[in-house]
Structure 1
């Protein structure tokens, strides 16, 4: 056993050396401008749930993936999850309209494949019919890396996964409180998101990332779609505390010492993407310590683009809400901002509208002569994220030159005009900008998100005599009917 420990220590030391070697390489690449900068490209990862005829999780992703036989669909952590990786495209012209059409085609194909396995799709932030039994380790997707990641997180924490949260009450009710625990990180599989990618040049990265941090709380407030977990009405976007708690490597004592969580907003505005990679290496120990024989400095000297395998692996186990991404495509390195705050759904139209709002507002803020973050404390942006996730449209958010305001008012008066300006300046067609920002406008006027619709529906069903379990099941039935019909959530009744 002693030899095993020594071997593991040696492997970890070598991994740490390789991560530092990668960090030195990316610093040199930034200094020498070795990155693709144009065109500005967008990408989307969309996580999905599989449900059976009783609206319960269907643990059938292996069978569905076999039916699909398409590399754009992959497995996720839990057996009731799928992930759709939409091929990237340039952010210009009618790209958003084309994205809409492409997404609908992919989801129709996936729903047919799911039907062959006796299941169907639910595009929602958290599946409301999940129970504690679905967090048992046997429901992990069959993938050695997921098992290793689980073992490393549980070992680092040294205790069970504890879930503790309380959210705003349903109308006329008392707040509901969740207290639960699991022997694995599988509660994280309850979080299904829409992750937006934007490729930017190295000199643009810092303003685009800072802008994304400013927008995160607003995105959550007007895009929330995850109000129920284990039968409880909790935050409007319960994914936010759930992701933090289910993957936390810290014991209570380490939390008391102020050790940073791996699901992290960050702690300051940045001046370079290097700041984020360097923080990730400095603050967080490796979880998956595999190494690549490639020496990245040798690749640089030969004029190539190194894979930076260890740094990318490490970066993938620090779950920032806006994550820096290094990637190599066709022999050229590029950088991306990955925006991870949004839930999946409710409809394709809503997903694309959320993307249009984010890309447009992000672009306008990043290119502004006076950056909004120069007048906004970083802590205020972090508090906005928590307030927007907890209270949705009822949140009070802070914005420079506006003060404390409701998110719908902030969007309608300030951010929608900026988002339109940003999309047009990025070359997006007026038709696409009008269509999708119009959905955001109507959502804010109606003050209806996926989350508020779910809460209102369950409230009505319970007042009509249903218990919570049947109300959640019936609500999800109506939700998926609306989802397949495709009309955006502000029109739902």
Structure 2
């Protein structure tokens, strides 16, 4: 959900003071990196896998349920379930756990238990949790300012984005034709709120890393982003339109864009950002954030990070964390404190939620395994791949899913499914084995990735096939989307991975 704030309006003096404090925080972080004031992840038994899952809420008729506050009160588990920006969203924070032995199998069952318990408690509210990248039954009328969750952070964020932009948001997307058609659908709309951002529900994967290992892990995660999206695409419909296989990627970028047309033409960087170069240190990313992006929520604390370091304390670096939380890198650097010790982690944000718990676990296992193998490789992949190629892969993977052709060093342009089957699945298995994950768990999750590639069926592909078939049988788009969502929810609850759905 992000760091809470108490103010909703800010002055120029607030912004100048906040800018100075962010620079102070970066100076303190640089000193901490130099003096090695971080938890030793190599010798610590601390867990390594963490995730957040965002959900949509739907009514029995598959329309969005604008009732997240009531639902959360009914679930009554604030340590696990929290609000998100839209009234039709909630977020689930999964307790971190180890990435070895059969731990992921235990985590999978824990996820199922938490969701069953939540479903039992919320059934009286005509609302159900849905794991999906974008809710196909969301319409533009559902995305006004009155649909923002009542929370000072969300309200201030909305106001500050529009104050920085000075005009309405522009949504401008062209789609990919549905199976059996040649029609390219498009969406052109002006919006007066950031609620379209809430339509983009994601799976966020966290990995704690030592400072000296941060750069290779981040670089490797950037290399994998396009493949992850192609494999996990689950967001093909928005506002009644058939768009990209993973429409979250362009929609999220546009829904939080503080740049009017003229600033885009000047090359001002967007707040949803892939980046522009490989890095050598985590400090590179935090310094870029400070250098390129104005503050959206410039609330200043009384703490002095250097004074705290001099006193032998671990500084919170609150301003740095607040600023970082309003810059939406697809692989975000995170500074945090746990059990009184500072640590760094990478928050991987490219994946959509769903379609099932099992698919979610498979997506996570593939990412962690492939990431570890790329970091451990004798020749770093990012030294053979341009940064622009990695960014282009993300766009192609998001637009075309498993139909995308991606660039990969020593292979060239190759189908995303073939790339995974020939190259990345063996690497992911090796990486998970290095972590210590059992062969039973590796086979279970990577077997799902293999089946997805062989059947060429992601969540997005299934949704597109279903809607195309329903429309060919005579249904209009709205009826087809609601019928498809009803079948989607039934399949999700049954729990079989999406490549096995009828």
The bucket for the TM-score relative to the shorter chain is over 0.9
Deviation per residue, 1:269-319 (Å, 9 max, x gap) = 001100000000100010000111111111111222110000000000000
Give the Cα separation in 1 of the matches to 2:378 and 2:223: 16
* Mapped pair 1:60 → 2:60: no
Give the Cα separation in 2 of the matches to 1:326 and 1:103: 26
Contact 1:50 1:114 in 2 (8 A): no
Give the Cα separation in 2 of the matches to 1:299 and 1:163: 45
State the partner residue of 1:3: none
State the partner residue of 1:86: 94
* Mapped pair 1:131 → 2:139: yes
Which has the higher mean CA deviation after the structures are superposed, 192-201 or 429-438? 429-438
State the partner residue of 2:6: none
State the partner residue of 2:5: none
State the partner residue of 2:16: 13
Number of equivalent positions: 488
- In the TM superposition, residue 114 of structure 1 has moved relative to its aligned partner by 2.7
- In the TM superposition, residue 7 of structure 1 has moved relative to its aligned partner by 8.0
Give the Cα separation in 2 of the matches to 1:176 and 1:350: 28
Aligned partner (choices 381, 405, 408) of residue 414 of structure 2: 405
State the partner residue of 1:44: 51
Deviation per residue, 1:50-91 (Å, 9 max, x gap) = 101110000010001111221211000000100000011122
Which has the higher mean CA deviation after the structures are superposed, 125-134 or 91-100? 91-100
Give the Cα separation in 1 of the matches to 2:319 and 2:258: 20
* Mapped pair 1:69 → 2:72: no
- In the TM superposition, residue 19 of structure 1 has moved relative to its aligned partner by 0.6
Find the residue that maps to 2:378 and give its secondary structure: coil
Check 1:245–1:436 CA distance in 2 against 1; reply closer, same or farther (3 A cut). same
Which has the higher mean CA deviation after the structures are superposed, 481-490 or 90-99? 90-99
- In the TM superposition, residue 173 of structure 1 has moved relative to its aligned partner by 2.8
Give the Cα separation in 1 of the matches to 2:29 and 2:374: 26
Find the residue that maps to 2:11 and give its secondary structure: helix
State the partner residue of 2:170: 162
State the partner residue of 2:461: 452
Contact 2:245 2:401 in 1 (8 A): yes
State the partner residue of 1:212: 221
State the partner residue of 1:338: 347
State the partner residue of 1:32: 35
Deviation per residue, 1:209-255 (Å, 9 max, x gap) = 00000000000001000000000100000000000000000000000
Give the Cα separation in 2 of the matches to 1:120 and 1:277: 38
Give the Cα separation in 1 of the matches to 2:326 and 2:478: 35
Contact 1:125 1:343 in 2 (8 A): yes
Aligned partner (choices 116, 129, 141) of residue 149 of structure 2: 141
State the partner residue of 2:160: 152
- In the TM superposition, residue 94 of structure 1 has moved relative to its aligned partner by 1.5
User: How large is the RMSD of aligned CA atoms in angstroms?
Assistant: 1.1
Find the residue that maps to 2:487 and give its secondary structure: helix
Give the Cα separation in 2 of the matches to 1:81 and 1:97: 27
State the partner residue of 1:112: 120
* Mapped pair 1:246 → 2:255: yes
Give the Cα separation in 2 of the matches to 1:95 and 1:383: 35
Gaps of 5+ in 2: 1-8
State the partner residue of 1:311: 320
Find the residue that maps to 1:266 and give its secondary structure: coil
Check 1:58–1:89 CA distance in 2 against 1; reply closer, same or farther (3 A cut). same
* Mapped pair 1:255 → 2:264: yes
Give the Cα separation in 2 of the matches to 1:410 and 1:426: 23
State the partner residue of 1:97: 105
Question: If the length of structure 1 is used for normalisation, what is the TM-score?
Answer: 0.98
Question: If the length of structure 2 is used for normalisation, what is the TM-score?
Answer: 0.96
- In the TM superposition, residue 433 of structure 1 has moved relative to its aligned partner by 0.9
Deviation per residue, 1:11-49 (Å, 9 max, x gap) = 211111111110001000111111113245111010001
- In the TM superposition, residue 129 of structure 1 has moved relative to its aligned partner by 0.3
State the partner residue of 2:329: 320
Aligned partner (choices 402, 425, 442) of residue 451 of structure 2: 442
Find the residue that maps to 1:110 and give its secondary structure: helix
Contact 2:275 2:329 in 1 (8 A): yes
State the partner residue of 1:236: 245
Find the residue that maps to 2:205 and give its secondary structure: strand
State the partner residue of 2:3: none
Give the Cα separation in 2 of the matches to 1:113 and 1:169: 40
Check 1:7–1:467 CA distance in 2 against 1; reply closer, same or farther (3 A cut). closer
